[in-house]
């Protein structure tokens, strides 16, 4: 996808429709927030329906985004320059770009291995807590955004876009959720300055790829796993994660002169409904924990066994609550680096 296909039509700052009250001007980050150094990107594609003028659509999106930001006010703020443990909820707003892509929308989907994200998503500039892009195609429109992970997890981001969508359809609608940010009450922030950089990935040290799995192939693998593992109704996430983990282990063996190396798969999980008492669906923040799948023997490297172990780990989350987070904090306090060992490889799955 060559850059000349993309034309920037406009760029502006959208601010919340209602100023954030003084009592909410400072948003404290939790321990999990502190160690997350990435953004959450989402995109939604819509075919052209009716005779809506692009200008009308843009104005509607801008107005509804402004109202949504008044609900999710930390996204309209900035990280505190002197203390990155806080977000200044100063209503400075988010950057919204309107671009036109001179190709059919279908071309993005027909070429799954191209760097389509550079066309679809806005630049991941963490100066802003939230960046938006409206992408116009020859026969449709896409809405995309990059939200700072430090403020909220995937569920928070999904709720943000959902409410934005509700308001875009009816500007006078009552949002279905009124978010409240609770992350720092679940995982209090750490005062150890080393925490900020303990789990940080430099852009130049990793490779990003996108894979599209045909639904028929996915269903066939799922049926095979059900037959062999006796796990009932494995999720698509479990099936794909097991396949990617297996491929990663196999590739590591090839690059390690044919020698097998033990490894962990660390699976993140949303804890909102697993806490006691459970949090409401309006709760926002990084309410995350996780579990390990440990592979010490090469004979265990098959999708069916991996899915079975993943399911066990998921069920244990209800009993163990936030043991993983507690272990990470304890490791840091002892001066160790979590998830780092020369003897064991670590793999992470975020869904």
- How far is it, in rounded angstroms, from Cα 304 to Cα 249? 15
What is the CATH classification number for the domain harbouring 184?
3.30.559.10
The reply to whether 60 and 190 lie within a common domain is yes
Instruction: Please give the pLDDT value at position 1.
Output: 47
264 and 312 in one domain?
A: yes
Residues β-bridged to residue 283 = 180
Sign of CA dihedral 7, 12, 16, 18: negative
Query: Could you tell me if 189 and 235 lie in one domain?
Result: no
Distance CA 31, CA 155 (A): 18
Asked whether residue 207 is assigned to any structural domain, the reply reads: no
Within-domain flag for 300: yes
Domain count, the chain: 2
Q: Does residue 334 share a domain with residue 222?
A: yes
User: Same domain, yes or no, for 192 and 224?
Assistant: no
Q: Under DSSP, is residue 252 helix (H, G, I), strand (E, B) or coil?
A: helix
Judge whether 28 lies within some domain.
yes
- Tell me: do 188 and 299 sit in the same domain: no
132 contacts 94 by C-beta, under 8 angstroms:
yes
Provide the residue-wise pLDDT of the chain in tens; the chain has 351 residues: 445 677 888 889 999 999 999 999 999 988 888 878 788 888 888 887 777 777 888 899 999 999 999 999 999 999 988 887 889 999 999 999 888 888 777 777 776 555 566 666 666 555 556 677 766 666 688 888 889 999 999 989 999 999 999 999 888 887 667 888 986 777 767 666 665 555 555 555 667 777 888 999 999 999 999 999 999 999 999 999 999 999 999 999 998 888 999 998 988 888 888 777 888 888 899 888 888 899 999 999 999 999 999 999 888 776 555 555 666 666 665 656 656 667 888 888 876
Q: Are residues 218 and 183 in the same domain?
A: no
Same domain, 261 and 339: yes
Given this model, what pLDDT does residue 173 score? 82
Give a yes or no: residue 208 inside a domain.
no
Residue 203 lies in a domain: no
Are 156 and 21 members of one domain?
Answer: yes
Query: What pLDDT is recorded for position 280?
Result: 85
187 and 56 inside one domain: yes
* Spatial distance between the Cα atoms of 259 and 250, rounded to a whole number of angstroms: 10
Of 201, 100, 79, 81, nearest to 142 by C-alpha is 100
Residue 276 and residue 141 in one domain = no
pLDDT for residue 57: 85
- Residue 202 located in a structural domain: no
pLDDT in the model for residue 270: 83
pLDDT score recorded for residue 108: 72
Asked if the structure places residue 115 within a domain, the reply is yes
Residues 100, 119: Cα–Cα separation, whole Å:
10
Q: Omega into 4 within 30° of 0, i.e. cis?
A: no
The parent domain of residue 281 ranges over: 213-349
At 191, list the tokens. 């005062």
pTM tops 0.85, yes or no? no
205 lies in a domain? no
**With left for phi above 0 and alpha for psi between -120 and 50, is residue 140 left, alpha or beta?**
left
pLDDT of res. 289: 80
Residue 145 and residue 75 in one domain: yes
């Amino acid at each position: 996808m060559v850059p000349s296909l993309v034309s920037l039509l406009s760029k502006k700052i959208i601010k919340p429709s209602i100023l954030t009250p003084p009592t909410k001007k400072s948003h404290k980050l939790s321990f999990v927030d502190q160690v997350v150094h990435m953004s959450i990107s989402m995109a939604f594609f819509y075919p052209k329906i009716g005779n809506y003028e692009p200008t009308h659509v843009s104005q509607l999106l801008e107005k509804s985004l402004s109202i949504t930001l008044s609900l999710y006010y930390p996204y309209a703020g900035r990280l505190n320059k002197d203390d990155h443990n806080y977000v200044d909820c100063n209503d400075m707003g988010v950057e919204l770009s309107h671009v036109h892509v001179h190709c059919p929308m279908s071309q993005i989907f027909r070429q799954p291995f191209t760097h389509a994200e550079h066309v679809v998503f806005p630049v991941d500039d963490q100066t802003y807590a939230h960046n938006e892009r409206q992408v116009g195609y020859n026969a449709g429109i896409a809405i995309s955004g990059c939200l700072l992970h430090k403020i909220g997890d995937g569920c928070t981001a999904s709720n943000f876009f959902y409410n934005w969508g509700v308001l875009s359809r009816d500007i006078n609608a009552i949002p279905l959720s009124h978010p409240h940010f609770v992350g720092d009450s679940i995982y209090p922030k750490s005062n150890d300055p080393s925490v900020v950089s303990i789990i940080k990935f430099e852009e130049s040290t990793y490779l990003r790829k996108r894979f599209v799995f045909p639904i028929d192939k996915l269903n066939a693998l799922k049926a095979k796993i059900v037959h062999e593992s006796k796990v009932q109704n494995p999720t698509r996430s479990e099936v794909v994660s097991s396949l990617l983990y297996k491929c990663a282990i196999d590739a590591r063996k090839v690059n390690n002169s044919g020698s097998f190396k033990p490894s962990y798969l660390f699976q993140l999980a949303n804890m909102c409904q697993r806490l006691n008492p459970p949090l409401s669906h309006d709760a926002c923040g990084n309410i995350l924990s996780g579990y390990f799948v440990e592979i010490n023997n090469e004979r265990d490297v098959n999708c069916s066994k991996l899915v079975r172990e993943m399911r066990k780990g998921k069920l244990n989350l209800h009993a163990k609550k936030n043991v993983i987070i507690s272990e990470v904090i304890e490791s840091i306090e002892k001066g160790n680096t979590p998830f780092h060992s020369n003897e064991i490889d670590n793999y992470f799955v975020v869904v």
